[in-house]
Chain A
Amino acid sequence: MRLVTAIVKPFKLDDVKKVLETIGVAGLTVSEVQGYGRQKGHTEVYRGAEYQVDFVPKVRIEVLVDDLDSTRVTDVIVEAARTGSIGDGKVWVTAVEDVVRVRTGERGTDAL
């Protein structure tokens, strides 16, 4: 099993959710996060003063998938989240040792 973690622009969350539904992903976890990448935040003007905003708001999406599905899930997320401009985010995959469904106690791929 693998954990696909995607950091995307907040307004792309709906697109990503929809495309994951269409390929049959059963569940996901979403959180609001902040951070920066290579572009190192941006400047903002407010009340006549310019500020450096270091942390840009993003959405983190986490999906647990079977080994065989991880490439396809990653690909559809990347495609749905891409705008082509700076700050589109990142997607990465990590190995997962075990998964347990709390209600039934099912383990491994049965718990996905």
Chain B
Amino acid sequence: MDTGDTAWVLASAALVLLMTPGLALFYGGMVRAKSVLNMMMMSFGALALISVLWVLYGYSMAFGDDIGGGIVGSPFEFFGLRGLLGTSGLDGGFAATSLVFTIPSMAFVSFQAVFAIITVALISGAIADRARFGPWMVFAGVWATVVYFPIAHWVFAFNGAESETGGWIANKLLAIDFAGGTAVHINAGAAGLALAFVLGKRHGFGKEPMRPHNLPLVMIGAGLLWFGWFGFNAGSAISANGQAAEVWVTTMVATGAASLGWLLVEKLRDGHATSLGGASGVVAGLVAITPSCSSVTPLGAIAIGALAGVFCALAVGLKYRFGYDDSLDVVGVHLIGGLWGTLAVGLFASASATADVDGLFYGGGVDQLWRQAVGAFAVLATSFVLTYIIGFAIQQTMGFRIDEEDELTGIDNAEHAESAYDFTSLGGGGVSTSGVRPAAAATAASTQGASA
């Protein structure tokens, strides 16, 4: 066991955990004022639920011994994390019984847990303003079990790391996905697209502007995502070493370049560089560099980032052309950015980076490119089909979407009996009548007293 590596991975896990509240702010600011709480609760609900499922059987499905074909790990091997706890020695010291590379298994459990959480939370942006909270929580649990845990096994479970045999993308296909361009971003993006089809468009989609209600929240959220993403990418080295440092730099520079690319597209196309564009460009760059951060040089990272900003800025317009209401652009940013970043490994990979592979532009031919393409589209298709089936089943049984009246009035009051902002001094804000003003209560009391 290496204490430096362990310290870095534990710190990275905490960084990545903060990304989900960051995402809640990023998404929450983008919706209208009447649905910000529901939007944030979808992320916090995923935090709560997936934490539990991960410990129960999620880690085991992702990193337990492969049941065959590299499809999924055994859910029973590490059920409840059994077999991974350390032992106290005679001197009161502590020894980990199980290691992943140079860190205790429990450190790896914590690091991978927060990946599962944010992947589920990412999907919620595609169905803003209109999904009932209960069915969302059911969806989150079923989706993590049926889609995420197996796909994390495909991509993240290397032979001999936690178990003898791991997933097919990591060990047979040999596609490079350093921190989760496929398992996290393509996966969440394709799932978001499927759910947007299942739930249908919001009332007024394409006619009303539905502009973000609080852009400072969006920018704080994007900042927290960027901050946490250093744990996501550099932590994925599972080591406090030179690779982690190189990845840190590619992550930073690709993100900056992507924000510039997005703003440039907006300035040329719409006439204004918007704050939403700047923040979205940050996320697009982070998504695109996620799979490629270990395999490209800093200059390659700039190219991938800048093009990610351009591609994603153009891709967020697709929903109007094709008529699906991907409300907060999970498809435009995570699916397109994830696809681009994953394929870009096959183009921009340089053997001078730590992954030690040459892509098409560095004389490596198309060998790595086709591996990347197969991995990316396998995850895309699997996630889309399974998510559509899960979403459709929930829609047919529990009902996924809220009533029209509740949607128009605002999902916060309908689903949570709260409103985010109480500005009015003329009685409780919003529709909820639970908050009786002290003055009104006093008046009522004195009236009663007079009549008694």
Interface presence of A11 (CB below 8 A): no
A52 to B204, CA, bound (A): 12
Interface size bucket, B side? 10 to 19
Give the residue of B209, B277, B316 whose beta carbon is less than 8 angstroms from that of A51. B209
Flag if A51 contacts B317 (CB, 8 Å). no
Contact stretch, chosen from A27-35, A42-50, A88-96 = A42-50
User: Chain B, 207-245, contact with A by CB distance < 8 Å: what is the 0/1 string?
Assistant: 111010000000000000000000000000000000000
Chain B's nearest CB lies how many Å from the CB of A52?
7
B89 located at the interface, meaning its Cβ lies under 8 Å from any Cβ of chain A in the complex: no
B316/A44 in contact, CB under 8 A: no
Tell me whether A53 is interfacial, beta carbon within 8 Å. yes
Do A47 and B271 have beta carbons less than 8 Å apart?
A: no
- CB contacts (< 8 Å) of A48 on chain B: these are 266, 269-270, 313-314, 316-317, 320
A residues near B276, Cβ cutoff 8 Å: 47
Cα A63 to Cα B338 in complex, Å, equals 60
Q: How large is the interface on A (under 10, 10 to 19, 20 to 34, 35 or more residues)?
A: under 10
Q: Which of these, B270, B277, B313, B316, contacts A45 with CB under 8 Å?
A: B270
B269 — which chain A residues lie within 8 A by C-beta? Answer: 48
Note all chain A residues with C-beta closer than 8 A to B207: 51-52
The answer to whether B316 and A47 have CB atoms under 8 Å apart is yes
Smallest CB–CB gap between A50 and chain B, Å? Answer: 9
Which residues of chain B have C-beta atoms less than 8 A from A49's C-beta?
A: 206, 317, 320
Instruction: Give the docked Cα–Cα distance between A91 and B276 (Å).
Output: 38
Given A51-B207, A51-B208, A52-B207, A45 contacting B271 (CB threshold 8 A): yes
How distant is the Cα of A109 from the Cα of B422 in the complex, in angstroms? 40
Please name all residues of chain B whose beta carbon is closer than 8 Å to the beta carbon of A46 when the two chains form the complex.
209, 211, 270, 274
Interface string of B306-332 (1 = CB under 8 A from A): 000000011011001000000000000
Chain A residues with CB under 8 Å of B209's CB are: 44, 46, 51, 53
Residues of B within 8 A of A45 (CB): 270-271
Chain B residues packing against A (C-beta within 8 Å): 206-209, 211, 266, 269-271, 274, 276-277, 313-314, 316-317, 320
5 examples of A-B residue contacts, CB within 8 angstroms: A44-B209, A45-B270, A47-B276, A48-B266, A48-B313
Known pairs A47-B277, A48-B316, A49-B317; list 9 more (Cβ under 8 Å): A44-B209, A46-B209, A46-B274, A48-B266, A48-B313, A49-B206, A49-B320, A51-B209, A53-B209
